[in-house]
Amino acid sequence: MKTYKKRITSVLLLTAVLLSCCACSPDSGRQSSNAGSSAGTTDSSSVSSENHDSNTDSSVSAGSSTDENLPEEKEPIFSDYYAQAYYILEKMSLEEKIGQMLFSSMPSEDPAGFAKQYHLGGYVLFGSDFERKTPDDVISFIDDCAGADDIPLAIAVDEEGGTVVRVSSKELLSDYEFKSPREYYEEGGLELVYEHEEKKAQLLSSLHIDVNFAPVCDISVDPDDFMYDRSIGLSPVDTAVYVARVTQIYQKNNVSATLKHFPGYGNNEDTHTGIAFDERLYSSFENSDFIPFQSGIDAGAELVMVSHNIVTCMDSTCPASLSENVHAIIRSELGFSGIIITDDLEMDAITDYTGDYTPFVAAVRAGNDMMIIGCYQAEEAIQSISQAVENGIIDIEQIDDAVQRILAWKLSKKMISQD
């Protein structure tokens, strides 16, 4: 049986020159002294089991891959910083560790104090957070928040272009609003796409924003798909080339790329309003949806975001974001060693699928390193996860592994002082 890695050789060959010419190396951390000192293919064989190609198969076993099917061993993406991260980790309380796993929306009052109170790992900023602010205003409040606690926050936005523009839609911050990658591609091909992605990355970096929840890796060619306007609309192989290049563009500008929405949205519905069931065969993901994610991972992407779709060939019982099987695929089959983050846990689609646990406990048990939450959820998240650790529902080693990875990531981006 051919392995998954072998079956995307064509993608890796197409991107080899790109990867060698555009090495991923963040230039620098935040410039503020406050923050800085504080811190396709035609082979349809299955990768694990022939049962993946049956719609009646309820899940893919996390341990079903043979040694032949595992990716080549390589050093974790932030391995140079793990020792220093562990040194920091040893001095942290359980509440401080859990706080690092939370990417919260920003409260309207005293965001710096709120970040310090809950030891947050990061803030996700929305359009309203940038309203009527100049670049200097944005930099000032970001640096105040980032430097509020001993371990600085990461600051993230959704700036995909097109329908999702949190920053460039503000005329005080940008000369123009970024169009979607699909629109730029239709106007001038991939070179025009890359030109505007470079400008986007430079804009975010200039505002001291650490993470963009992009690029969108989803494959969508049907105008009726929910994700159609947000995807680039190319074949899996061409989307993979695009994802690799954009990942490198962001990260050479010290903006962490986030590959989303794993395992691939396809033609599913919007999970902000209800659960979406994906009944596709596992081989369709191997031969299509996984290819851009693998390309982005191989290009050095630092985060992967998992969707709330229920993908029945991987796990028929819960959303991908809460599935241990799905997270095992990301780690074991795609070989990702960076930060796995949930889509927004405020979404209605997950509330009926957490069993006896809070969404936060379910997310940690599944294997997420970080969770996107509403600020009003911070206290419940920390309390419920703490209680789950005390009751033996979550192993403290799982928390430590996630937080060590987060700290190593922040050290690699020079958010945390290395003195």
What pLDDT does 418 receive? 74
State the amino acid at position 341 in one-letter form: I
Who has greater pLDDT, 296 or 48? 296
Q: Which of 203, 52, 222 is nearest to 135 (CA)?
A: 203
Who has greater pLDDT, 129 or 275? 129
What pLDDT does 350 receive? 76
Q: Which of 3, 65, 51 is nearest to 313 (CA)?
A: 51
Cβ pair 366, 321 in contact under 8 A: yes
From residue 348, give the alpha-carbon distance in Å to each of 234, 343, 358, 418: 30, 12, 13, 41
Percent of the chain's residues with pLDDT above 70: 80
Q: Please state whether beta strands 277-278 and 310-311 pair in parallel, antiparallel, or not at all (unpaired).
A: parallel
Q: What does the block give as tokens for 168?
A: 């460039």
Packed helices 378-390 and 359-366: angle between N→C axes, nearest 10 degrees = 60
What pLDDT does 32 receive? 39
20-34, 187-201, 229-243, 383-397, range with the lowest pLDDT: 20-34
Q: Which residue has the tokens 């609003």?
A: 177
Within 10 angstroms of residue 73's Cβ, the number of other Cβ atoms is 6
The band of 419, judged by pLDDT with boundaries at 50, 70 and 90, is: low
Q: Which helix (H) or strand (E) holds 327?
A: helix 324-328
Please tell me whether residue 172 adopts helix, strand or coil conformation.
Answer: coil
Who has greater pLDDT, 60 or 144? 144
Domains in the chain, please, with CATH?
4-412 (3.20.20.300)
